[in-house]
Chain A
């Protein structure tokens, strides 16, 4: 009996010991979370002594919305897309952020002039610019490599399974681009039932060959395992697979979908002060530049751009791998957060019905 008691006390002690100050950050997992741990979390803990718990989600907006609805907020800082930040801010679920509280650039430029356009919102601050691109396994197409978004839908010339994300936002645009719709007209199309039908009709042509993924770390893995020959993928993840793991993959920048990711803090989070500390720290000039050392996502501050140099291996220049590189944005679709804030639910509903049938 006595041993049991001692054992119990020891176990409970071990379990509850971590009561020091902490902050829960919910992000997208995989190579992206790793880059944030290296660039933000470790220096943050070193400087402030606050422990950072990195929590992974397929899309952090999903648990955030669920937590807000259930009135049970467990995360402090969420890394979410702009459309979700706008929507949740409109619904009054996020803490408002005063741009004057954010640290200025090293040369004294105030934060509100330092961030790229659209990066500062009422309740959220962007940290990166990123792209969704098509990646393919170069060993699978010895007779000629794909170069255009349309090639993704060409199963005859480029045989093999395709990897696509299981949501409307990152599939419909691709179908329209491949169908010849210019990047600038995507949202006009998607606002009409005919345009949506056109996108689904195009997706129908490859539906039987698609392996659907949900977490951003899955597509590089699907390519590596040979489950698919081509997949859409977040550009930083595929960079990680190509450069740091030496995988024989290449990227098609045609029809990339360019987006911002933002940090937001929900109202009623367990550690609001630490959360704000973290948000300010992680979006300062140096931290954003450091992040680009670990993964090929562009910093959201202009002042960080000059500090971005080589990849952590010390020999790979980051610029050509950035979604913002001039050569990479020739036919890029820019995110329209207002459109998605309004239409996300409806289009996903149609997408799921289409998927199930």
Chain B
């Protein structure tokens, strides 16, 4: 047997095994070469920018570059050291530096993320720093007694190193107390956990509504003759191809107080003219518009699973004495589970990251976590916190994506 294998050679006398391996290698290399340009492209225009952005969630040097003296003092004096004259002298030197370099605003803002009220403390004190005289341990607290707060010094110590986990803590409504122990923030400042919760809850709700609405029409499409179902399919695909902004506009037009739906209800006498229902600029607006936008993503996978199910199965069950409900529940429904899983996961993944629609029709209580990321990016400019929130959101989405790949397989993603 070994002899026979050894004797197998190609025309030019090379062992067949090696030649095959080489050609295999070449084929693999060729396949990789075809994919390489795109892979590099996605790496540069997508993966690296996101990674770079996320790095801001653990790196913020706004305070550390503005306070080199305090940084040195914190290095020499471990946590729990007494805040003595040398500490205040370092503070005054840094305030002077901040004033010269115009850094008191950004340094104060960094501490303010941790302890509200600190920004004005820094800008105000830097403005008056030239009036301070030694001993600073007396003159600085005389300027503003907030400077003696041990929690402030804890925050400055933490911020004096640019690498920090503070922003992930903040994104989970956590902070540190004077001793550095992680605690919850005050109840009235808790925002993010609630928003993550709301995002998940609304996404689950929207996914549920989509499933309930998509199931009957997918079933109808799957059981009709192809010519008819292709025609009806256009009703599903047209929204899919229509601009997101157009669809959102339509819902504003339909749902606002002077809009079509309210006017219809008034003219039918169901509600009075002064009892027009608020259906938009609140959570309800977000739910309705997002359900509409995401419904095709549920119908399509359901349809592609339902279409191949032979109608004879249900008929066989009926002929064996099952009621139509039992036949549906025991025979038909289990076969559609893969389609439901695929659709539900996709809709859930997409809705967790929605931004445009909630921003336009969500009012105050219909905003999702993406809207808060945008807020911190564009308005409050707390980019490190935005990055931390984005990191948490991305992590959640990637877990769902992994689950989708496991359960459904990315290859099975279908578009119409």
Contacts and interface: CB of A to CB of B under 8 A. Distances in A.
B120 A343 contact: yes
B102 interface: yes
Contact of B281 (A227, A350, A355, A356): A227
Interface stretch (A48-56, A87-95, A176-184): A87-95
Interface stretch (B27-35, B186-194, B202-210, B343-351): B186-194
4 smallest CB-CB distances across A and B, nearest first, come from: A342-B120, A356-B191, A92-B102, A353-B189
Nearest to A161: B278
Interface stretch (B3-11, B82-90, B378-386): B378-386
A356 B194 contact: yes
A87 B105 contact: yes
A45 interface: no
Interface stretch (B38-46, B109-117, B306-314, B330-338): B109-117
Given A90-B105, A356-B194, A66 B123 contact: no
Interface string A313-357: 000000000000000000000000000011101101110111111
Given A66-B381, A342-B124, A353-B188, A211 B194 contact: no
Interface in B157-197: 187-191, 194-195
**Main SS of chain A's interface residues?**
helix
Given A345-B380, A352-B191, A354-B188, 8 more contacts: A66-B378, A210-B364, A225-B257, A342-B124, A346-B112, A350-B189, A353-B191, A356-B195
8 contacts: A87-B105, A90-B123, A212-B364, A345-B109, A346-B116, A349-B112, A350-B189, A356-B194
Given A62-B378, A346-B112, A357 B190 contact: yes
A348 B190 CA distance: 15
Nearest to A339: B120
A227 B102 contact: no
A352 B379 CA distance: 11
Interface of A: 62-63, 65-66, 69, 87, 90-92, 161, 166, 210-212, 225-227, 341-343, 345-346, 348-350, 352-357
B119 interface: yes
A303 to B, nearest CB: 34
B119 A346 contact: yes
A90 B102 contact: yes
B292 interface: no
B363 A211 contact: yes
Given A66-B378, A90-B102, A345 B363 contact: no
Interface in B369-389: 375, 377-381, 383
A91 B108 CA distance: 12
B35 to A, nearest CB: 26
Interface residues of B, number: 33
Residue from B187, B363, B377, B380 with most neighbouring chain A CB atoms (10 Å): B380
A87 B123 CA distance: 10
Contacts of A348: 380
Contacts of A87: 105
B79 interface: no
B3 to A, nearest CB: 59
Contacts of A210: 364
A227 B256 contact: yes
Given A342-B120, A342-B124, A212 B380 contact: no
A345 to B, nearest CB: 5
B194 A357 contact: yes
A162 B127 CA distance: 40
Contacts of A161: 278
A341 B119 CA distance: 10
Given A211-B281, A342-B124, A357 B188 contact: yes
A345 B257 CA distance: 35
A357 B191 contact: yes
Interface string B113-135: 00011011001100000000000
Residue from B106, B116, B278 with most neighbouring chain A CB atoms (10 Å): B116
Contact of B112 (A211, A341, A345, A354): A345
Contacts of A352: 191, 375, 380
Interface in B255-285: 256-258, 276, 278, 281
Interface string B209-243: 00000000000000000000000000000000000
A346 B363 contact: no
A350 B191 CA distance: 11
Contacts of B379: 62
Contact of A69 (B117, B124, B383): B383
Nearest to A350: B116
A342 B383 CA distance: 20
Contacts of A66: 377-378, 381
A195 B191 CA distance: 22
Contact of B378 (A63, A90, A92, A354): A63
A226 B102 contact: no
B329 to A, nearest CB: 43
A122 B119 CA distance: 22
A355 B380 contact: no
B370 to A, nearest CB: 15
B363 A342 contact: no
Contacts of B256: 225, 227
Contacts of A341: 123
Contacts of B191: 352-353, 356-357
Contacts of B123: 90, 341-342
Contacts of B378: 62-63, 66
Contacts of A356: 191, 194-195
Contact of A346 (B117, B276, B364, B383): B117
A349 B116 contact: yes
A65 B276 contact: no
Contacts of A62: 378-379
A225 B112 contact: no
A349 B190 CA distance: 11
